[in-house]
Amino acid sequence: MADVEFQVVGKVAHVRLNRESGMNAITGEMDELLHAAWQRINAEADIWCAILSATGEKAFCIGADVSEGPERKTRMALAGGLTGIGGPLVTLKKPLIAAVQGFCVGGGFELAMCADVIVAAENAQFGLPETRHGIIGECGVVHRAVRQLPQRVAMAMILTGERIDAGTALRHGLVNEVVPTGNLETAAAAWAEKINKCAPLANQAAKAAALGRAGHPLETALATRFEEIERYAASEDVMERDQAAKEGRRPVWAGR
């Protein structure tokens, strides 16, 4: 079995970290497999959204596998470049759901924060242990945390290394839902089903617009024309939308 499993079920790509014995810490090989997964998800029109999960109940991911040491010849872009650490940032065009259980710390926490929707098991623990261990570097996790959590909550986590539990994460809006650990897979699938009821190209255009101008003033965002929205306006799905409205039925999206 590969340390990163990939399969497509219907319109949903399933990416699973499969290294339970190492608490799903990401090795160089896993990094390459994740990069290939993101590229395939972006390239295949019949993939409308993706779920990122991990095996075992103890940990979603504890970040990069530091045990590989200096003998690793190539620099690792953590999580296949999705986080933007160690190499160019890979932008995932499709909606991404993270299903998180157990320890979600360091680079693993950053990986989860790259998702558009996070579903957490009741046993999930989110943390930034870097400074507690005397580590700080290209630490993208601090930049994401201070943007996705209230500033003082994020700074307390950064400066103490203490973790927050799933309930606290939900209260602060870091996660969308908390479920029993045994229901995590079902809950993530339910989110994928809700997402895929929407026009997939419209979702992709909306994601590109929302995230593409998230760090800009509102006036700039409102004045921006987005290529993804322009392409969607000329798509088959727009014609299907209009035809379905005329016929009084639900549209059948094709993603084209």
Catalytic residue (one of 130, 193, 227, 228): 130
Number of Cα atoms under 13 Å in the Cβ half of residue 25: 11
Produce one character per residue of 50-72: b if its CB has 16 or more CB atoms within 10 Å, e if not.
bbbbbbeeebbbbbbbeeeeeee
DSSP 8-state symbol, 98: E
Helix locations, 14-74, DSSP H: 28-43
Question: Is 110 assigned a catalytic role?
Answer: yes
Q: For the sheet containing 117-121, what is the strand order?
A: 4-9, 12-17, 49-54, 96-100, 117-121, 177-179
- Cα–Cα nearest to 100, from 137, 53, 142: 53
Please indicate whether residue 130 is annotated as part of the active site.
yes
The closest alpha carbon to 98, from 84, 90, 108, belongs to: 108
d(CA 147, CA 82): 17
Cα–Cα dist 124/105, whole Å: 10
What is the DSSP annotation of 148-195? HS-HHHHHHHHHH---EEHHHHHHTTS-SEEE-GGGHHHHHHHHHHHH
Selecting among 44, 110, 230, 240, the annotated active-site residue is 110
Judge contact between 90 and 79, C-beta under 8 A: no
CB 72 within 8 A of CB 33: no
Catalytic machinery residues: 110, 130
